[in-house]
């Protein structure tokens, strides 16, 4: 039984693929795979392993031996699920592998914005502390998290982990009702919570209901000192509107770990704005990348493979 891993580089070079390797007769590993290389590399494979390589209907129909697609991520938007189902190909993904890692990263971003770290680091770099008439700098008003209101969109395992960390800092935590399902959700709507939020942290999937969720109108209802954290997906916030609010001092801080197009080869306004004196942080979609989380992806994929083999062969 042949398995082909199309983009092993997406997990780094320090993970152990032995849990997968021991379950198949032949594991072929490619660090990266271009679109025009997919067919040749998957020919004769029973199992395709992919993180972000696209497996579309045309490719699926050209691979008669393919029986299982393992996605080494939570999102399956790189697959044509309808085509896979039509062909009887099983698709398995992984979830909850990076809860501790992403929650830790979220808190790091929150703490950094609350301390106005980007602004003070720029001041120190530019010599403002060295020229100060007193022993410290007081130019940027910081935010003490204790007693403040943390509003979270997304009450799954990740959102709940962030809530627990927020509570250890003495924050009051509220979960917003699921966007698009407010009528059937007993929790308060995001709209009703925005005006009282000191920190808004997003941990929901990108769907039609959440695309542009934090737009110009939503931002206008928030406190001007509020912090906005997006460790979910690019596009859930209107990045242009958020940047405008930050520049106009209608938002206290902005931190994102993802952008609508990744990698952002054509650039992005938030990347350009990093040169400005703003309380802004952009991290390169790496909230999840602790070694423990990346190894967990492999281990969960091996579990998926083992379950499929049992179901397939008994």
Please identify every residue annotated as catalytic.
233, 262, 285
DSSP single-letter state for residue 224: T
- Could you identify the residue written with the tokens 């990698």? 263
**C-alpha to C-alpha distance for 190 and 188, rounded to whole angstroms:** 7
Structure tokens that stand for 75 in this block? 């999102």
Q: Which DSSP symbol is given to 46?
A: S
What is the per-residue burial (b if ≥16 Cβ within 10 Å, else e) of 233-242?
A: bbbbbbbebb
Cα-based distances in Å from 125 to 35, 119, 215, 276: 44, 10, 33, 13
Q: Specify the length of the chain in residues.
A: 314
CA distance 17 to 29: 10
DSSP letter at 176?
Answer: P
To which H or E segment does residue 28 belong? Answer: strand 26-29
Rounded CA separation 199/220 (Å): 15
Within a 13 Å sphere around the CA of 196, how many CA atoms are in the beta-carbon half?
17
């Amino acid at each position: 039984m042949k398995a082909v891993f199309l983009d092993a580089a997406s997990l780094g070079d320090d993970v152990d693929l032995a849990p997968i390797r021991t379950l198949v007769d032949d594991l072929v590993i490619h660090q990266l795979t271009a679109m025009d290389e997919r067919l040749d590399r998957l020919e004769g494979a029973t199992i395709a392993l992919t993180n972000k390589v696209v497996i579309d209907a045309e490719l699926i129909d050209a691979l008669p031996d393919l029986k299982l697609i393992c996605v080494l991520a939570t999102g399956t938007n790189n697959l044509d699920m309808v085509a896979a189902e039509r062909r009887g190909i099983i698709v398995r993904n992984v979830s909850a592998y990076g809860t501790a890692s992403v929650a830790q990263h979220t808190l790091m971003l929150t703490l950094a914005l609350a301390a106005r770290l980007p602004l003070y680091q720029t001041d120190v770099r530019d010599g403002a502390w060295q020229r100060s008439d007193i022993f410290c700098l007081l130019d940027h008003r910081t935010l003490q998290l204790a007693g403040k209101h943390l509003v979270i969109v997304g009450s799954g395992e990740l959102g709940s982990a962030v809530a627990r960390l927020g509570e250890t800092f003495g924050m009051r935590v509220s979960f917003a009702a699921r966007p698009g399902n407010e009528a059937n959700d007993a929790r308060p709507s995001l709209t009703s919570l925005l005006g009282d939020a000191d920190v808004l942290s997003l941990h929901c999937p990108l769907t039609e209901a959440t695309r542009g969720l934090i737009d110009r109108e939503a931002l206008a209802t928030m406190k001007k000192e509020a912090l906005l954290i997006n460790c979910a997906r690019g596009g859930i916030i209107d990045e242009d509107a958020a940047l405008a609010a930050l520049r106009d001092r209608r938002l206290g801080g902005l931190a994102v770990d993802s952008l609508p197009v990744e990698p952002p080869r054509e650039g992005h306004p938030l990347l350009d704005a990093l040169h400005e004196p703003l309380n802004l942080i952009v991290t390169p979609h790496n909230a999840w990348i602790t070694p423990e989380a990346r190894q967990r992806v492999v281990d969960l994929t091996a579990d998926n493979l083992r379950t499929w083999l049992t179901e397939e062969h008994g």
